[in-house]
Each structure stands twice: as C-alpha cells, then as structure tokens.
Amino acid sequence: MGARLRAAALLAALPSGCILAGCGMPAAPQPPSLHLPAPVTDLSALRTGNQVALTWTMPQKDTDKVPLKGPVQVHICRNQPGAQGCAVTATLRLTPASDGAFTDTLPAALTEGSTHLLIYFVELDNHKGRSAGLSNGARIVAGQAPAAVDDLTGEMRRTGVMLRWAPESQETSPAAVRIERKLIAAATGVKPAAGPLSAHAEPAERTLLVAPAPHLDRALDSSITLGSTYEYRAQRVVHVIVNGQAMELAGALSAPVRIAAVNVFPPAVPSGLAAVATPGAEGAGPAIDLNWRPNIEPDLAGYIVYRHDSSAAASDWQRVSPAQPVAAPGFHDSDVQPGHTYQYAVSAVDQQGHESERSAPAEETVPAP
C-alpha cells in the first residue's frame, strides 16, 4: 500500500472531530480536593487593659481556589514563647468573606508581673476538622498594664476643652495619656473663620497624646470647633522593650465624657483706651476721638462705646455707639458740648452676643470757645 493510501486509511480510522481539531492525550488523574479553607493572612490584635480585640478577614475560597460553601469553623489560640503548643481560647463559626472579630479577656496570670510576648493565631477547619495551617501571628504584650484613667471630666474654657482626671499613684512610673475624641455632632451656623476655635473640616475621630509627667492630671484640647459636640475617653500608655522590640502596653479606657463646645465666655476687656478732644473747625463742631488696643478673639463682633457727662449723676452712663457694634478699635464722638468733661468706657462683644466688662475709663474735656 502506497504512502498516500496508508495515510488515508489512518485518517479514516480516526473520529471526525479529531480530524479537524486534533485529539490530546488523556490528562493525568488529579487528587481529590480536601476543601481546606485558605489560611487567614491579616490577623491583628490590640490590647486595652485586660482585653484583646482580634480582627481578621475570612477567606472566600479554599486552597484549590474553589469558593467556600457554608460556615467555617474558626479556632482562636494564643501562644507564649517557650510554651508547649497554642492554647485554644475560643471556637467560632463564621461565613466566608466576612469580617472576623473576637475579644479575648486575659486571665489573671497574663495581666500580672513583668511584661512578655503573647502571640495570637486563628486556624480554619473544613467539615472534616482539617486545616491548611495557622494564620499569621498577631503580637501583644502580656503583663501588668498601666492603671486605668479614673474620674475623667471636661469643661469649656476660653481656649478649648479642659480635661481632668485623677493623677497616677506616686508609686508608679509616669505614663503617657492617650485621649480618644469622637465627633458626636458637627457645628452648624456661622463660625469664626480664623483662630484656634475656628471652623474647619473635622475628622470623625481624633487621637491626642499627652507626654508622661509626674502627677499628670489634665490636658487642654484647643483643636475643637465651637458649636460641635464631642465624646472623650482616656487611657494610660507605656512603651516597653520585649524580645528586643519596642511595643505598646495600654491600660483600660475610661468611661466616656460628652462635652458640648458652647461659647459661654465673653471677649477680653478692651485695654489702652485713650481720648483726645479736637476743637471745632469751620463748619464743624468740637469732637472727641477715641482709640484702644484691638481684641484678638476669632469670633469678635466689635465694640460698644459708653459715655458719662461729669455734670450728670455718677451712674448715668449712656451708650453712644450705634446699634451694630463698632468694627474698628476707634470711635469719633461729635455729639459733645464745649466746656464739658466726659468719661468713656469700651466693651467688646462676640458673635454670640456675649459682652465683656467695660474698660477702665478715659476722661477728656472739650475746650470752651
């Protein structure tokens, strides 16, 4: 049989689909999937006082890239370097791709004495109790934490919110105090455009750190906005070296304190008031010119000028400035009489209508013609 005939006979023996597309060899058999959940890779731990908050993301697929079906069993364990094995503290069942969270309360043995390392892991089991291994390790410091902040209070001051708490015992080393501030309600309406209590975009949460000092018992938050409402909590924090690594150890958070940043303080009393009389010129009568040092409050609305004629009763002071506060630190009073002696005083008023006390008086006599 010729070569062409042999080729034709071979083609005729093949299925028609193989003539057009070709037929591959059978694939090697694959082992069956064990359906092992992929290990967690983003476990994190945060100790606050005697509690440890653990967070992680549950995997969506198994180690064969197949989507997981149904709840997954989660074991949470903690390990001390040198200890035998990882002690399981809790077992949960969570859905794939969910946010995992668990709060572990440390036993007394791990909250006393000198500091040492503690490592948390999570392990995910399939329906047969098999695992692809532990998660990444999340480290915290075990041992005695700083004392909790007690008796936290807050009150408004002219320059911000003053926070106070009970000082540390003298037997302990000073610790820093971390203050967590949460914005409860943002200010509305007209606010000052400049200054420490001015209107600005505020984050929902903010952290303030007060450096350690003996008998530390207060801090001023000057980064507030007038009209906003805040919630404060505080905790003591120390930094320690564990196994050659710098780590943080934080005490329990205090009870929350809520403060409405309402401006209840009038501006400062104006100072430096001076009065100078000017004789009448052609076409104009005499006058007294006033000037004083400007106030620096960011929410200042202006000034009010008061006058007393020495010929009147001592208590007979009258407002001589317009209904709207005077914007500039000066005033021209042309409603005066020759030969009369006048006393002047000035007060400052803010945008909320709070008026300061009056300044020290300045006296001037209008020259007689």
Domain 153-260 top-level CATH class: mainly beta
Can you tell me which residue has the tokens 């890239």? 65
DSSP state string for 299-332: TEEEEEEEEEETTS-TT-EEE-S-SSPBSSSEEE
pLDDT band for position 284 (cuts 50, 70, 90): confident
Inform me whether the pLDDT recorded for 205 exceeds 50. Answer: yes
Instruction: Please state, in angstroms and as integers, the Cα–Cα distance from residue 30 to each residue in 26, 33, 56, 245, 367, following that order.
Output: 12, 9, 32, 46, 114
Which CATH number describes the domain made up of 274-365? 2.60.40.10
226-264 pLDDT tens trace: 889 999 999 999 999 998 999 999 999 999 999 999 888
Supply the pLDDT for residue 173: 77
108-133 pLDDT tens trace: 999 999 999 999 999 999 989 999 99
Query: 3-class DSSP state for residue 5?
Result: helix
Inform me whether the pLDDT recorded for 338 exceeds 80. Answer: yes
Supply the pLDDT for residue 269: 97
Inform me whether the pLDDT recorded for 335 exceeds 90. Answer: yes
Can you tell me which residue has the tokens 């001023």? 220
Q: Which residue has the higher pLDDT, 256 or 19?
A: 256
- Out of 2.60.40.2550, 3.40.50.620, 2.40.400.10, 3.40.47.10, which CATH number does the structure's domain 44-142 have? 2.60.40.2550
Phi-psi region of 206 (alpha: psi -120 to 50; beta: other; left: phi over 0): beta
Supply the pLDDT for residue 32: 60
119-178 pLDDT tens trace: 999 999 998 999 999 999 999 999 999 999 999 999 998 889 999 999 987 666 789 999
Query: Residue range 79-89: average pLDDT?
Result: 84
Supply the pLDDT for residue 14: 43
Of 82, 141, 143, 80, nearest in space to 113 by CA: 143
* Cβ atoms 252, 165 nearer than 8 A: no
Q: Any bridge partners for residue 68, and if so which?
A: none
Q: Is the pTM of this model over 0.85?
A: no
Question: Which of 75-89, 113-127, 313-327, 337-351 has the weakest average pLDDT?
Answer: 75-89
Supply the pLDDT for residue 192: 47
pLDDT band for position 199 (cuts 50, 70, 90): low
Give the list of residues 6+ apart from residue 155 with CB closer than 8 angstroms, or none: 161, 162, 259
Of 168, 164, 160, 167, nearest in space to 152 by CA: 164
Inform me whether the pLDDT recorded for 344 exceeds 50. Answer: yes
Instruction: Please state, in angstroms and as integers, the Cα–Cα distance from residue 83 to each residue in 62, 111, 118, 177, following that order.
Output: 30, 17, 10, 33
The boundaries of every CATH 2.60.40.2550 domain in the chain are: 44-142
